[in-house]
Amino acid sequence: MSEDEDIIEINLSKPDTQDWGYDVPILGSSTTNPAILGSRRPDEVVDFIATLHNFSTGPIQVIYDIVYGHADNQSELLLNRQFLKGQNMYGQDLNHQLPTVRAILLEMQRRKMNTGVDGIRIDGGQDFRFFNPLTGFVEQDDAYLLAMSDVVQDIGGYQRLLFTIFEDGRPWPEEGWEEISTYRDLIELRPDSFQWGPLIFAHNTPTLKGFWDRKWKRVCEVIYQGENWITGCANHDTVRRGNQVELDQEINWNLGKTWSEVLHNGYDNPAVTLWVYGFSPGLPMDFINATTRAPWMFFRNTDERYGVKVVAEEMGFLDWQITPELYQQDFVFSRLKSLGFEDLEELKQFGKALQQAMIDADYSLPAVVEACQACFGDSAQECKLEYLQKINHPEMVEFLKDLDIPKLKEFALKFMEDCYEICNVSHYGEDLNAVQTNFNLQLRRFRHDRIWLRQNLMGTDQFHKIGDQTQTVFYGVRGNPYREEDQVVMVANMGGEPMTVTVGDWLELDLSEWKVAIASPGVQLDDNLASLKKFELKDSQGVLLVPQQPQK
């Protein structure tokens, strides 16, 4: 460069994103989440996958969660406007109808898959919609979803077509979608693919009384149509929805004595896990934050526009997941504590006031700030936010006294970054219950040894329910279609009061020919006939039986 030419200085930094994949750097497939890998070297993910494929106990397959339908609002600053289709509830929908965008996304997906991954999950299939001027209707872009499924992995001259998992709850978000969604549209178009089933989709709340009785129709769909479904109950969306359950709803207090206990026992539930792993068809899925009893919520530190809205919607996280004992830990809410929120109850009061103000003001930040300011100091008599009245005192949090929009955004950012740290499972390993984790491990091994359970029920199999919203027990018997002597009996109290179980009578079985394979924690059974003929199961308890081995 000659002396008379301008010198341009460029500062480069690595992205430090904390969210669920909405942000532009993750969209560009150029980064690896630092929560998993430390150095953020692009090739480290290749080493990571290769290590898992050569694991000492057998290969572990890796699935990428492909979030290529939407981005956060910072995409408006970085991408051509033609690449964006319009606003959604948290950011921008991508214009996958534009051939250039379609080609870019498919090429990014191909390059990402060539790191050695084994399968893909396509997020939010129901969101891939477009207006068709030829029909005059908004239609699903199934052609694009199938094109994503058809991308071929090519590594070292070897090609393979990966298995695809679709998440698709159409017609979400239309009113009444939970009752009319079949969850099967993409399975029917691509029979060799898998799809998130009706009990793993976003809105399940097993902390509510009578939940499993109300879900009986969906449970039967899983049982009789579920061999291509991902099954289970806990995932990144459902646990978040658990935080949003209003505290005045009918809660199943058999699950615990505190909100936190109820939530953790609802999503890491022995009866549910026993039913899913020991009996239900499909591919079972666990959520690590549920099985490690670690907190979880929705967070994103990249959104300038909707950050406060997201935080206001997530305030139930404090009631359901954060106990006073946890709040005292040094790593918990360290950023908010630096702002003066040393007391959990004061944080809860401000959080509930913020939630109320955002709804009342239709998410207008100036109006929210005005409503909050009216609750402090001499003007407090004009306060319309009851929760702020409780923390308006001389020793109140200094940060709140001159609250303005920049400070409100600062609060939201620090809240989400604190929650990102709180949800790291590494903090909770020493607190795990060895009995519960061993039970979960036994069920996984049981499932691995019986691959035939993945298939739908045969004509001779049985599955039934006893009870109602106050008492719900699932029970049934299944047989291996390829080996007659390989069978499983399952009985599980899915919620409610204790029930006396006579599963031999219910299924017309000679229990002298059966033995206990796995019993949930707290169930004391031996293999004598009297014990198996009649026993009690409390809420969340269950038993698997298998045939006795014939005497040689």
- For 136-166, the pLDDT digits (tens) are 999 999 999 999 999 999 999 999 999 999 9
Residue % of the chain over a pLDDT of 90: 69
Kindly indicate the confidence band of residue 300, based on its pLDDT and cuts at 50, 70 and 90.
confident
Comparing CA positions, the residue from 195, 96, 90, 191 lying closest to residue 141 is 96
pTM of the full predicted structure? Answer: 0.91
d(C-alpha 549, C-alpha 552), whole Å: 9
Is the predicted pLDDT of residue 552 greater than 60, yes or no?
no
Residue 8 has what pLDDT? 85
Q: Which CATH number fits domain 24-196: 3.20.20.80, 3.40.50.12140, 3.90.1510.10, 3.30.365.10?
A: 3.20.20.80
> How far are the Cα atoms of 66, 306, 318, 363 from residue 372, in angstroms, in the given order?
40, 19, 20, 13
Instruction: Name the E strands within 189-316.
Output: 194-196, 229-231, 283-284
Residue 74 has what pLDDT? 78
Domain 234-290+430-552 has CATH 3.30.70.520: no
d(C-alpha 376, C-alpha 387), whole Å: 12
Is the predicted pLDDT of residue 551 greater than 60, yes or no?
no
Placement of tokens 């006294």 in the chain = 401
Domain residue spans in the chain? Answer: 24-196, 234-290+430-552, 307-422
What DSSP element (H or E) covers 105?
A: helix 99-113
d(C-alpha 531, C-alpha 405), whole Å: 66
- The first and second tokens of residue 370, run together, are 């005005």
The answer to whether the beta carbons of residues 182 and 199 sit under 8 Å apart is no
**Average of pLDDT values for 97-104?**
92
CA 284 to chain centre: 13
CA 310 to chain centre: 17
Is the predicted pLDDT of residue 89 greater than 50, yes or no?
yes
Q: What average pLDDT does the chain have?
A: 90
Look at the alpha carbons of 302, 304, 310, 314 in this order and tell me if their dihedral is positive or negative.
positive
Same fold, 24-196 and 234-290+430-552: no
The answer to whether the beta carbons of residues 309 and 358 sit under 8 Å apart is yes
Residue 389 has what pLDDT? 82
Phi-psi region of 163 (alpha: psi -120 to 50; beta: other; left: phi over 0): beta
